[in-house]
Amino acid sequence: MIPPKNPLRILIIITRGERGGAQMHVWELLRGLRDRYEFHLVVGDEEFLSQEARKLNIPVEILPSLQREISLKPDIQAFRALKKIILQKNRIWFI
């Protein structure tokens, strides 16, 4: 399949990277659609999902403040870091 000239850019944000249901679903999406879309993965830790995404040559950002539990200080840090990631790019993201 010939990749599109201007693929849709998709930013995937997930709190944990361990091998689990949501992570396996994201991995299958990355693996199956990487030729059609430009993916970028943001994950809270360095585990299965980030490692597999890198094997697929998908850019990965590790954001330790991105946690599953609600906590004001880490949530604000994660929000600011995500805002910075999104604004650094020239084109619009589908998140």
Is the pLDDT at 5 greater than 80? The verdict is: no
- The answer to whether the CB of 83 falls within 8 A of the CB of 95 is no
Asked if residue 49 lies in contact with residue 20, where contact means CB atoms within 8 angstroms, the answer is: no
**Residue 95, pLDDT above cutoff 70:** no
Average pLDDT, integer, range 18-22: 92
Computed over every residue of the chain, the mean pLDDT equals 89
